[in-house]
Amino acid sequence: MFETTLNVRLRGNIFEKIDELKSFIDGYLREMEKVKLDNVNLTELGIKRVETKQRWYLECLEGKKVVGVDGSQINPLRELGIPIGVVQVAKVKVWHGEGKKDVEYYSMPVTIDENINLKRFDLEMEALIDEVGEGGWLFFDGSFMAPEVKDNKNVEKLFRLSEEHSTPVIGYVDKSFSRDLSDRLGLKTYDSFLLRNMKVFEYTKPFIKNNLAYAYIKLNPALPARIEYPVWMVDMHDDVVKLVIAECQLGITKGYPYILERAHKFSTIEHGDRAKFMRAVKSYSVSFKWMAKMR
């Protein structure tokens, strides 16, 4: 299904065919939603629910140190003759209930010959690795299993050190299009679509893939979010889920951890900083092809 559906060809300007494009998107999503859990033994999913009471999340977070890491980047601008980009990563530390906060930055230039997404990921892993052993719960905005970082040595190092120092590390994926669970059950859809009818604050048991555990949590009426962590943390699964939900309750949307909201805010390269970057590198020679497209 995934292969054949994408063989659609539209004749003409894509923006003049926007209704046809919308029809394709709607049809594709309907195909994903057709797959149901009716024939699956729900005990295989181990679905449970976090029991809550008024302001329970504040009690859950009280006295805990939580660390969030996220990054942003400026890609090398081939069109402008700029073969250099830059990556910036922010590590935010919050001591809940103590009113303490700290922010650290990591940054590096990246040449056009390098994979800037991979460089950013490695710098984010470095920020987490530096924090292992310092105590607290570490949050990463993203997946440890993304295809471009498969078998990444920094992930292996982070997981090994987190176990040695008993430092929990959690990857949070707000919109996941993984198919690990669906493949495991022999179903043709995305995991988040498969689990869309879970109730708010319900979550699955952890599933193991190599040295990593993953699970899904329903935080709001949207599709479930995915969490990932090293397998040594499996016995802590209920506590991990409760902490993730508690962090989300502090967030603006209630569906994204507060600590990662902070990390995203501090890591973002603002317009003024981008202008400084452009002045620093300038352009070696502007592409005439780019000029022609901008007329």
Dump pLDDT digits (tens) for 159-178. 999 999 999 999 999 988 89
**Three-state SS letters, 223-263:** CCEEEEEEHHHHHHHHHHHHHHHHHHHHCCCCCCCHHHHHH
Cβ-contact 60, 246 below 8 angstroms:
yes
Q: Structural domains in the chain?
A: 1-34 (no CATH), 46-293 (3.30.2170)
Query: Environment class of residue 157 by beta-carbon count within 10 Å: exposed (0-12), middle (13-18) or buried (19+)?
Result: middle
Q: Is the pLDDT of residue 291 over 50?
A: no
Instruction: Give the Cα separation of 37 and 45 in Å (integer).
Output: 10
Q: Is the pLDDT of residue 124 over 90?
A: yes
The secondary structure of 270-282 as a DSSP string is -HHHHHHHHHHH-
Structure confidence by residue, pLDDT tens digits, 254-289:
889 999 999 999 998 887 777 777 777 665 555 555
What SS3 state is found at 69? Answer: strand
pLDDT at 206: 96
Average pLDDT over residues 243-247: 95
All residues at 6 or more sequence positions from 247 whose CB lies less than 8 Å from its CB, including other chains: 57, 61, 66, 139, 257, 258, 259, 260
CA 265 to chain centre: 15
Instruction: Give the Cα separation of 113 and 182 in Å (integer).
Output: 36
- Would you state the structure tokens that stand for residue 293, as one six-digit string? 């497209």
Q: Is the pLDDT of residue 155 over 90?
A: yes
Cβ-contact 57, 250 below 8 angstroms:
yes
Query: How does the average pLDDT of the chain come out, rounded?
Result: 85
Top-ranked range on mean pLDDT: pick from 21-35, 39-53, 159-173: 159-173
pLDDT at 36: 67
Average pLDDT over residues 228-245: 97
Instruction: Give the Cα separation of 243 and 68 in Å (integer).
Output: 13
* pTM of structure: 0.85
Cβ-contact 113, 79 below 8 angstroms:
no
Q: Is the pLDDT of residue 90 over 50?
A: yes
